[in-house]
Amino acid sequence: MKNRFLKALPVKEYRLISALLKPVELKQGAVLFEAGQQIRDLYFPDEATISCLSGTADGQILEVSVIGNEGVVGITSLLADTAAFHAIVQLPGRASVVRRDVLQKEFKRCETLQRLLLQYTNSLLIQIAQTAVCNKFHSVEERFCRWLLMAHDRSVADRVPLTQEALARILGSRRASVSVTASAFQKKGAIRYSRGVINILDRRHLENASCECYETISAAHARVDS
């Protein structure tokens, strides 16, 4: 059990929720739900990392938040009836799944669980807002670092199995820009990429090259505890 949100629950609540969870293996590219859909299941990732996406009318897609073992996927379905965003498995791995109606019942009656889920919603608000700021002001290099660091935080290993093309789509950048960026960081020894996998070699280098958005988002998620 690597999900840090669940681990932050007190013993009694942890046992209660654990009994409601089922383990599941999430495959890369799987669509968990689409925006506007009624969500049936929520996920607490252990290793998998999920992109929440929004799109424009003419088909441009952008990642608005990334969720991994720091939290829960589908929380907007506890706030309103339907999903706010599309959720796609970006990096595969294990997760725990729970039925929405089951979790909603506990959300309404378990004080501690409710408080933690609301705090997590706040950290998600900050992640979404800070990503908006990042998209406005920061370079593709800074954003590349921010995303890799966030993915690394949510992984169990130092490898991120993602193609540059996929990363370009996530960042709303051109593939060429991501290629140039990745190449530069590889030359500096910060990463090594081969066959669709980005290996993180020097995390500190990425932290120095990232914008402050990474710190802001991480600090927000770290504040979620009982």
Partner 1 sequence: MRPKRYEESPDKSMNKILAALPTSLRDWMENLEPVRLSAGTVLFEPDEAIEHVYFLTNALVSIVSMNSEGTSVEVGSIGYEGMVGVPAILGGVTPYRAVVQMGGDAYRIAGRRLYEEFRRNPFLRDLLLKYTNTFLIQIAQSSLCNSYHTLQERLCRWLLVARDAVRSDVLLLTHDVIAHLLGTRRASVTVAAGLLQRAGLIKIGRGQITILDPQGLEAQSCECYSILREGVRRIQSS
- Determine if 130 is a binding residue for partner 1 (CB under 8 A): yes
CA-nearest of 199, 169, 177, 200 to 88 is: 169
- Determine if 76 is a binding residue for partner 1 (CB under 8 A): yes
What is the side-by-side order of every strand in the sheet holding 49-55?
31-33, 86-91, 49-55, 61-67
Our CB check for partner 1 shows the closer of 66 and 191 to be 66
**Total binding residues toward partner 1, as defined by CB under 8 A:** 40
CB contact set of 68 (below 8 Å; sequence gap of 6+): 45, 47, 48, 49, 50, 91, 150, 151, 153, 154, 155
- Determine if 181 is a binding residue for partner 1 (CB under 8 A): no
- Determine if 170 is a binding residue for partner 1 (CB under 8 A): no
- Determine if 64 is a binding residue for partner 1 (CB under 8 A): yes
> Judged by CB under 8 A, which of 10, 22, 25, 125 binds partner 1?
125
Q: Taking the mean position of all CA atoms in its chain, how far away is CA 118?
A: 17
Stretch that binds partner 1, among 23-31, 110-118, 150-158, 192-200 (CB under 8 A): 110-118
Our CB check for partner 1 shows the closer of 49 and 130 to be 130
Q: What is the CA radius of gyration of the chain?
A: 17
Residue 55 bridge partners (DSSP): 61
- Report, in Å, the least distance between residue 157 CB and partner 1: 29
- Determine if 129 is a binding residue for partner 1 (CB under 8 A): yes
